[in-house]
């Protein structure tokens, strides 16, 4: 019985990751249809050449093993869906582009979406359902929490700890820490587009500008 694969989310994030998912399976010499899951659907349809179903329809498909990449921008929704998939015995699926560069001793938890031109440096630990968009990088000795999102072009330098549910905006730069004093981005923090972060930032704040300053607390 063939395995089934799906991308959960058929808006911009999911549609952008579908070509990455296709080449990921091709690289592994796996021939399989990849579905879209969209909970807004009542009946199945076709999106960019792929069958799109709601979650209940996908769950009803007959297969011994199902794998799902959650392509939802909201980290809280990603977490909720990850728990639902686990309860339904559906495995989180990680995909990476052919030109994603992953260096030595990298640990990546399930559900990662690594877009084209992403680089992960050596001795990096990455939590569940990490999204790294186009041209982002994570340098050596970083620890990335669960459900973290990098928009395109994020520059995360060495010895940085980013806690769960943080969002790093497009083109943001985070200054490197040191082995004994890593720079920390707190849980649920938002780093605005183009911000330059030069020191620790607490949980649940939004920071903007160069150098980054706190705009508001969430």
Which CATH number do you get for residue 63? 3.40.50.20
pLDDT of residue 2: 85
Q: Are 145 and 199 part of one and the same domain?
A: yes
Task: Decide if 64 is inside a domain.
Answer: yes
Q: What would the pLDDT profile of 140-183 be if each residue is shown by its tens digit?
A: 999 999 999 999 999 999 999 999 999 999 999 999 999 999 99
Q: Are 122 and 160 part of one and the same domain?
A: yes
Q: Are 148 and 78 part of one and the same domain?
A: no
**Of all helices (H) and strands (E), which one includes residue 61?**
none
Q: Are 101 and 165 part of one and the same domain?
A: yes
Rounded Cα gap, residues 169 and 193, in angstroms: 4
Catalytic residue among 131, 140, 161, 165: 140
Which of 93, 123, 139 is the C-terminal boundary of a domain? 93
Q: Are 134 and 83 part of one and the same domain?
A: no
Q: Which domain holds residue 192?
A: 96-210
Task: Decide if 216 is inside a domain.
Answer: no
Q: Are 103 and 203 part of one and the same domain?
A: yes
Residue 73, number of CB atoms within 10 A of its CB:
16
For the chain, percent of residues with pLDDT exceeding 70:
98
Which CATH number do you get for residue 178? 2.160.10.10
Q: What would the pLDDT profile of 14-50 be if each residue is shown by its tens digit?
A: 999 999 999 999 999 999 999 999 999 999 999 999 9
Looking at the structure of the chain, the number of domains it has is 2
Reply yes or no on whether 24 is catalytic: no
Task: Decide if 54 is inside a domain.
Answer: yes
The pTM of the full predicted model, rounded to 2 decimals, is 0.96
Q: Are 109 and 13 part of one and the same domain?
A: no
pLDDT confidence band for 64 (50 / 70 / 90)? confident
Starting from the edge strand earliest in sequence, which strands make up the sheet with 137-138, in order?
A: 101-102, 119-120, 137-138, 155-156, 173-174, 196-197
Task: Decide if 8 is inside a domain.
Answer: yes
Task: Decide if 217 is inside a domain.
Answer: no
Q: Are 88 and 105 part of one and the same domain?
A: no
Task: Decide if 218 is inside a domain.
Answer: no
Q: Are 154 and 112 part of one and the same domain?
A: yes
């Amino acid at each position: 019985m063939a395995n089934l694969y799906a991308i959960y989310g058929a808006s911009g994030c999911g549609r952008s990751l579908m070509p990455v998912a296709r080449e990921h399976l091709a690289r592994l010499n796996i021939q399989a249809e990849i579905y879209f899951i969209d909970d807004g659907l009542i009946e199945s349809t076709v999106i960019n050449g792929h069958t799109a179903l709601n979650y209940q329809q996908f769950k009803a498909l007959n297969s011994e093993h199902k794998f799902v990449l959650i392509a939802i921008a909201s980290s809280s929704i990603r977490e909720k869906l990850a728990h639902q998939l686990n309860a339904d015995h559906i495995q989180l699926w990680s995909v990476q582009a052919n030109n994603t560069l992953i260096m030595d001793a990298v640990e990546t938890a399930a559900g990662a979406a690594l877009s084209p031109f992403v680089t992960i440096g050596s001795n990096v630990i990455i939590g569940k359902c990490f999204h790294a968009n186009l041209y982002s990088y994570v340098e050596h000795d970083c620890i990335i929490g669960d459900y973290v999102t990098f928009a395109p072009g994020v520059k995360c330098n060495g010895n940085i700890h980013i806690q769960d549910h943080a969002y790093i905006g497009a083109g943001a730069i985070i200054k490197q820490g040191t082995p004994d004093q890593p720079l920390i981005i707190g849980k649920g923090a938002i780093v605005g587009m183009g911000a330059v972060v030069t020191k620790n930032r607490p949980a649940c704040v939004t920071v903007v500008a160069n150098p980054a300053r706190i705009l508001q607390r969430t």
